Amino acid sequence: DIVMTQSPDSLAVSLGERATINCKSSQSVLYNSNNKNYLAWYQQKPGQPPKLLIDWASSRESGVPDRFSGSGSGTDFTLTISSLQAEDVAVYYCQQYYTTPLTFGGGTKVEIK
Amino acid sequence: EVQLVESGGGLVQPGRSLSLSCTASGFTFGDFAMSWVRQAPGKGLEWVAFIKSKAYGGTIEYAASVKGRFTISRDDSKSVAYLQMNSLKTEDTAVYFCTRAPTANGYTYPPIYFHSWGQGILVTVSS
């Protein structure tokens, strides 16, 4: 199984400041034949279902603010919130879809400092 | 607008069975893979099972934790996905989310991640 490890478990960031979340996979999720990373990011606000933010490691879903960006390749990935807003308070998860079982990271809780 | 509505949850004793349904609207149900993802109270997300569209053979896969006990199925004529859960354990207690995969168009091996989510339904396994 591919193990997804997120860091940190939680972080507190001042409004308007940058938040950076890391996700490391135990093996590469880069599919060489199409040069795509099979990695997604989700946001889960309290009491709500998760919401897909980013797929293919760096492709933002329609309607997702451009302060959210994804980067990385192979085994190391980052979700960046460039200027934290109050509505960004949530738990963020990465997920690999390179192979089954489909696996998630443990989540990173983002709060306001 | 994509809508996924789960039903059938509730309290059940260990060892018993329960069946969940996911009624979909706002898209051509038969064109998309469907999955179930669960979240134990206060915990993270765990993929449970998926079923691909008939165009991709209706392939089914399960997480090891539920294989042999849970069965996923679909009725494209009704736009409903199901999760039959047998031999339930206390550790199956969770909110179960129905999810839809992204479009499979153009892919030989369509990616299965979780593009759209239902609100979730609570399953509590307890004596």
B97 touching A (Cβ < 8 Å): yes
- Which pLDDT does position B42 carry in this prediction? 96
Best residue in A1, A51, A102, A103 to probe B by mutation, most B CBs within 10 Å? A102
Per-residue exposure over B34-52, b if at least 16 CB sit within 10 Å of its own CB, e if not:
bbbbbbeeeeebbbbbbbb
Mean per-residue pLDDT, A48-58: 98
pLDDT attached to residue B105: 78
Alpha carbon B118 to its chain centroid, in Å, reads 10
Give the per-residue pLDDT at B61: 98
pLDDT at residue number B108: 77
B61 within 8 A of A100, measured Cβ to Cβ: yes
Q: Residue B79 burial by CB count (10 A; 0-12/13-18/19+): exposed, middle or buried?
A: middle
Q: Is the pLDDT of residue B106 over 80?
A: no
Closest to B73 (Cα-Cα) out of B91, B60, B92, B85 = B60
Q: How far apart are CA A35 and CA A33, in angstroms?
A: 6
Task: Using DSSP, state whether B65 is helix, strand or coil.
Answer: coil
What φ, ψ does residue B123 adopt, rounded to 5°?
-115, 120
Q: What is the pLDDT of chain A when averaged over all its residues?
A: 97
- Is pLDDT at B3 greater than 90 in this prediction? yes
Partner-chain residue, chosen from B45, B50, B115, that has the shortest CB–CB distance to A93: B45
- Residues A52, B61: C-beta atoms closer than 8 Å: no
- Map residue B91 onto helix, strand or coil: helix
pLDDT at B110: 83
Residues 6+ apart with CB under 8 A from A52: A40, A41, A42, A61, B113, B114, B115, B116, B117
Q: Is the pLDDT of residue B53 over 90?
A: yes
Judge whether A21 and A13 are in contact, CB under 8 Å.
Answer: no
A92 part of contact set with chain B, CB < 8 Å: no
Could you report the per-residue pLDDT of A64-82, keeping only the tens digit for each?
999 999 999 999 999 999 9
Q: Which of A100, A42, A111 is nearest to B67 (CA)?
A: A100
